[in-house]
Amino acid sequence: MVNINEKILVLDFGGQYNQLIARRVRDHNVYAEIKQYTVDIEEIKKENYKGIIFTGGPNSVYDMSSPHYSKEILDLGIPVLGICYGCQLITYMCDGKVENAEKSEYGKIKINVKKPESKLFKDVPTENIVWMSHTDYISEAPKGFEVTAFSDDCPCAAMENVEKNIYAVQFHPEVTHSQYGKTILKNFLYDVCRCTGEWQMDSFIEDTVKSLREIIGDKKVVLGLSGGVDSSVAAALLSKAVGNQLTCVFVDQGLMRKNEGDFVEETFTKLFDMKFVRVNCGEEFISKLKGIVDPEQKRKIIGSEFYKVFWAKIKEEAEGGFFAQGTIYPDCIESGKGNADTIKTHHNKVKMPDDIKFDGVIEPLNELFKDEVRVVGEKLGIPKELVWRQPFPGPGLGVRIIGEITEEKIKVLQEADFVFRDEIKKSGISGDLSQFFCVLPNVRTVGVMGDHRTYDHLIAIRAVTTDDFMTADFARIPYDILARVSNRIVNEVQHVNRVVYDITSKPPGTIEWE
């Protein structure tokens, strides 16, 4: 949507750090986009890239099935940086020699820079620590390339062909364990590719608002607001662009955290210019979920009911205008990896029903990563509480109540969760936790209160730390905080007489209980 003059292509060869590379490039105020290694070279030629980065990948260049690319890419006159597998691929493409080492080089490794005057190693000490993760290694750099760094076990930790502007490193500069990784990437972007660093969030907002105004004109635009970060930021951006031509539809299915629906409504009606439509349908949802205990069936019912209500309202509000959604960049990247087993069904991009006709779909954030979205959100004046909100699953508390969902259980869980969040906030450790919430396992236990025997709900506390939500560890919350949480929950929340802490990592557990 925005006109970006200065772009870097991250060519994905299946490495686990492809998104991280793009993020790191953007940290230097240069826009980076990821394309799979299957992209046609003609598409690359059209884009006017300032530089290309070959990512790492799990394969060996000599495997018949390993990802390769046409050698022509090295002759386009565009600077190239190969990382790990990308470095080996360049060697292979240029007739150097890659061999299998007896011993893998893994972890923090010291390298020696042989050519300190290399553009890539400007401001980098001759001895420094990098992150390595490879078994194959370059035993002979290709003709025309000079080895610029080495380690004890790796004769070619970096190489370059200055004339052709091709650089390659065996290590991972994008990983924070590489001491000077940031500097090395910056050197590639600014000294080799000659970027100027025009990708900044202030200019992103200005440019996007301008182009949204041009696209929307005097028409209407409707957006589904979930109260999550992405749709909230998209709403604020659209509001800034077209004010009350924007209608936000907010479906409250009764499965949100305590007071959350009211908070979202208040934020958007008070702070932003727009038409805000709230649909309260908690009762209908609970009746549809009566008797349902299977997690996947619950998800399906909540999902399909949600979209039924959602599209009916959207249709009523803006058929014929534009439809907007808060899709972000990671939702759009085609992952290079194979089909993993479906553990749980989550949805990112909304599928449009066939019977609704819009003038077009607008996704103002589809070039941004999550933390860039948050920066935009803060700049647009969305409260910090919303911008830095922890992830909340689409089916809401529906997947945090084990077994059948009832109004009473929702209430108990909302109250307990409210206390837990309040205590964590007060203790000042929110920033250390990636996600924290309460679960109602649908178990009743015997307790004693005063002189009375009780037989009431058990509440489980879940708190995790994670970088990517694919793996996670249980958070080491100090005992005294846990004690306060437990005390308050059993005292303040009716029908709870016991609290337990979930100390399972992911895998084998998942973050949510269902």
Q: Given the DSSP bridges, would you call strands 158-161 and 146-151 parallel, antiparallel or unpaired?
A: antiparallel
- What are the φ/ψ torsions at residue 246 (nearest 5 degrees)? -90, 130
Q: Which stretch binds ligand XMP (CB under 6 A): 53-61, 100-108, 173-181, 386-394?
A: 386-394
Q: Which of 33, 172, 372, 415 is catalytic?
A: 172
Q: Residue 26 or residue 257: which is nearer to ligand XMP going by CB?
A: 257
Kind plus residue range of the DSSP H or E element containing 18: helix 18-27
Q: What is d(CA 461, CA 204) in angstroms, rounded to the nearest whole number? A: 40
In the range 105-124, which residues lie near ligand XMP by CB under 6 A?
Answer: none
Task: Say whether 514 is catalytic.
Answer: no
Q: Residue 5 or residue 390: which is nearer to ligand XMP going by CB?
A: 390
Q: Which residue has the tokens 């409707």?
A: 222
Q: Does 506 bind ligand XMP (CB under 6 A)?
A: yes
| Of residues 76, 84, 85, the one with CA closest to residue 41 | 76
Q: Which of 6, 28, 33, 84 is catalytic?
A: 84
Token pair in block for residue 295: 């997690």
In the range 463-482, which residues lie near ligand XMP by CB under 6 A?
Answer: 469
Q: Which of 171, 394, 409, 419 binds ligand XMP (CB under 6 A)?
A: 394
Q: Does 79 bind ligand XMP (CB under 6 A)?
A: no
Q: Residue 346 or residue 384: which is nearer to ligand XMP going by CB?
A: 346
Q: What is d(CA 130, CA 132) in angstroms, rounded to the nearest whole number? A: 6
Q: What is d(CA 36, CA 386) in angstroms, rounded to the nearest whole number? A: 33
| Shortest distance in whole angstroms from residue 340 CB to ligand XMP | 12
| Helices 407-427, 479-492: crossing angle, 10 deg rounding | 140
Token pair in block for residue 369: 């990563």
Q: Which of 6, 105, 160, 174 is catalytic?
A: 174
Q: Does 511 bind ligand XMP (CB under 6 A)?
A: yes
Q: Which of 241, 393, 424, 438 binds ligand XMP (CB under 6 A)?
A: 393
Site size toward ligand XMP (CB under 6 A) is 14
Binding mask 271-310 for ligand XMP (x = CB under 6 A): ----------------------------x-----------
Q: What is d(CA 27, CA 460) in angstroms, rounded to the nearest whole number? A: 39
Q: Does 435 bind ligand XMP (CB under 6 A)?
A: yes
Query: What residue type is 505 in one-letter code?
Result: S
- What are the φ/ψ torsions at residue 166 (nearest 5 degrees)? -110, 125
**Contact criterion met (CB below 8 Å) for 179 and 129:** yes
| Of residues 147, 165, 144, the one with CA closest to residue 155 | 147
Q: Does 460 bind ligand XMP (CB under 6 A)?
A: no
Q: Which of 344, 411, 484, 488 binds ligand XMP (CB under 6 A)?
A: 344
Query: What residue type is 177 in one-letter code?
Result: H
Q: Which of 337, 346, 357, 476 binds ligand XMP (CB under 6 A)?
A: 346
The binding site for ligand XMP (CB under 6 A) comprises: 299, 344, 346, 391, 393-395, 399, 435, 469, 506, 510-512
Q: Catalytic positions, please?
A: 84, 172, 174
